[in-house]
Amino acid sequence: MRKQVILTVLLTLCLSLAADNVIDQVIWVVGDEPILLSEVEEERLRAQYEGQQIQGDPYCVIPEQMAIQKLYLHQAELDSVEANESTVSHQVDMRINYYISQIGSREKMEEYFRKSQAEIREELMTAVRNQMIIQQLQAKLTSHIKPTPAEIRRYYNSLPQDSIPVVAAHVEVQILTMEPPIPREETDRIKARLREYQERVNKGEADFAMLARLYSEDTESAKRGGELGFLGKGQLVEPFAEVAFNLTDPKKVSRIVESEYGYHIIQLIERKGERVNCRHILLRPHVSANDKMTALERLDTIAQRIRQDTISFEQAVSLFSEDKQTTMNGGLMMNPNTGASRFEYQDLPPEIAKLIYTMNEGDISAPFVMMDETKNKEVCAIVRLRSKKEVHKANLVDDFQVIRSMLEQKQSNEFLQAWIKKKQKETYIQIAPDWRGCDFEYPGWIHD
């Protein structure tokens, strides 16, 4: 209580000083935690840059969101809910790298946010960590919500016809892929080029970052001179990580490293504990038209055997497929956006979507060439259309999981709304007079 009194005095003092053009001020107090005007301004600026739409007055919406966050974080502290720091660091590095790629350079990013990269990183670490903690707490608070089949049916039957969602057309697809063989001559050519770059940098005849911009086939990092940002060992493919984490001299270039993406040379920028920031140049061997044709002909033979029932698609995948992500489940593709096997057409690789659209259930496609986005390289493939559903209103037979998710989401939202209203009554809250005239989502912030 003593701390709350001190915060109330601080709030009053800041309000009186605001008239004398003090830059910052306390505008809310939630429990023991103040919300500053500068924090609201920073969040508004970040949302504006990231293209987030704030529904309503940002000077009402943002402080309320921060207050709700503080309610959750206080409960998370009581429940000992913590974030995985490695995951937090990875997400922050990705966001900083995104900012740099969009704004143009580290210096321009620092100028835009009026902070050093270290300060930006520290603020993002706090924001991402808090977001992850809140998500974990919400999942914990609502973990008891598991509607029964009877409840799901009653919920569906209670929906007005115009409230039953339309389920987009979706498919399930199995895939079998092959990578065309790389001729030894092509591999030797790639390695010779990388050795040339390596020697020029080690002799001081060329700048690694400039060579990366000019020649690296990792197009995103090439824009930043090959820089990857700070990453943990588990965030890099194993052969690359082993070499990157053993580098000690920023002036020297690594040996040539082969990974599933191609061939690399690496230069250390800086290491901080269990994270490393380095540059790399990636070159990929290019497959000739003849080699692609050989792989396509082999796939055509396999497809014919499947159509003739001399082998099942699942058996063919087990024997011949080089797609590590699908070989263990009969080639069934999983949607990275949902974790399920159902795809809407726009979520499929374009080469597959174009073929699947005109196929019937059980059909096997002709062999084709596609881009494997995970490796950023061309592969040859055939696909089987496992199932296909056209656009329709959700029903209990085909879309039971969709309806269950709808009910779970509804019950979770209702539970969390009630939880916030309860915490409002139990928590000490003060809002500066000039900040009270808002149409809050939760009116209980102002205690009379």
Q: Say which CATH number the domain at 202 has.
A: 3.10.50.40
* Encoded tokens for 118: 């270290």
CA 103 to chain centre: 20
Predicted pLDDT at 279: 95
Does residue 32 share a domain with residue 21?
Answer: yes
Q: What is the C-alpha to C-alpha distance for residues 209 and 198, in angstroms, rounded to an integer?
A: 12
How many domains are there within the chain? 3
Confirm whether 272 is domain-assigned.
yes
Instruction: Decide which of 255, 283, 311 is a domain's last residue.
Output: 283
Predicted pLDDT at 136: 95
Q: What is the C-alpha to C-alpha distance for residues 125 and 377, in angstroms, rounded to an integer?
A: 33
Sequence-ordered alpha helix ranges (H) in 142-183: 149-158
Residue 80 · residue 136 · CB < 8 Å = no
Greatest CA separation found in the chain? Answer: 86
Does residue 388 share a domain with residue 305?
Answer: yes
Does residue 302 share a domain with residue 254?
Answer: no
Does residue 240 share a domain with residue 194?
Answer: yes
Strand partners, 379: 370
**C-alpha angle with apex 396: 393 to 401, nearest 5 degrees?**
95
Q: What is the C-alpha to C-alpha distance for residues 35 and 252, in angstroms, rounded to an integer?
A: 48
Domain that holds residue 60: 2-78+409-445
Confirm whether 128 is domain-assigned.
no
**Cα-Cα-Cα-Cα dihedral sign, residues 81, 84, 89, 91:** negative
Backbone angles phi, psi at 333, to 5 degrees: -80, 145
DSSP assignment of 257-317, as one string? EEETTEEEEEEEEEEETTEEEEEEEEE-PPPPHHHHHHHHHHHHHHHHHHHTTSS-HHHHH
Q: How many CB atoms lie within 10 A of CB 32?
A: 14
Does residue 313 share a domain with residue 256?
Answer: no
Predicted pLDDT at 348: 93
Does residue 252 share a domain with residue 301?
Answer: no
Backbone angles phi, psi at 372, to 5 degrees: -85, 105
pLDDT per residue, tens digit, the chain (448 aa), is 434 433 443 444 344 434 444 468 999 999 989 999 998 988 887 787 777 888 889 999 999 999 999 999 999 999 999 888 878 887 888 888 888 888 888 888 888 888 888 888 888 999 899 999 999 999 999 999 999 999 999 999 999 999 999 988 899 999 999 988 888 899 999 999 999 999 999 999 999 999 999 999 988 889 889 998 888 888 888 899 999 999 999 989 999 999 988 999 999 999 988 889 999 999 998 888 888 999 999 999 999 999 999 999 999 999 999 888 898 999 999 998 888 899 999 999 999 999 999 999 999 999 999 988 776 678 999 999 999 999 999 999 888 988 999 999 999 999 999 999 999 999 999 999 999 999 999 999 987 6
Does residue 329 share a domain with residue 239?
Answer: no
DSSP assignment of 18-64, as one string? HTTT-S--EEEEETTEEEEHHHHHHHHHHHHHTTPPP-S-HHHHHHH
19 Cβ contact list (under 8 Å, min separation 6): none
Residue that the structure tokens 């910052």 belong to: 24
Does residue 389 share a domain with residue 295?
Answer: yes
* Distances in whole angstroms, Cα of residue 4 to Cα of each of 8, 28, 50, 354, 429: 6, 12, 35, 62, 9
Q: What is the C-alpha to C-alpha distance for residues 262 and 277, in angstroms, rounded to an integer?
A: 20
Does residue 376 share a domain with residue 326?
Answer: yes
Instruction: Decide which of 254, 283, 312 is a domain's last residue.
Output: 283
CA 118 to chain centre: 22
Residue 349 · residue 371 · CB < 8 Å = yes
Confirm whether 9 is domain-assigned.
yes
Strand partners, 263: 258, 283
* Encoded tokens for 446: 């102002």
**C-alpha angle with apex 122: 116 to 127, nearest 5 degrees?**
125
Predicted pLDDT at 448: 64
The total number of residues shown for the chain amounts to: 448
Model's pTM, two decimal places? 0.63
Burial letters for 334-369: b for 16+ Cβ neighbours within 10 Å, e otherwise? Answer: ebeeeeebbbeeebbbeebbebbeebeeeebbebbe
CA 427 to chain centre: 34
Q: Amino acid identity of 257?
A: V
Burial class (CB within 10 angstroms; exposed 0-12, middle 13-18, buried 19+) of 280: buried
Helices 400-426 and 149-158: crossing angle, nearest 10°? 90
Does residue 174 share a domain with residue 293?
Answer: yes
Confirm whether 144 is domain-assigned.
no
In this structure, are strands 257-259 and 231-232 parallel, antiparallel, or unpaired? unpaired
Does residue 177 share a domain with residue 296?
Answer: yes
Residue that the structure tokens 């082969």 belong to: 258
* Encoded tokens for 102: 């969009």
Does residue 310 share a domain with residue 272?
Answer: no
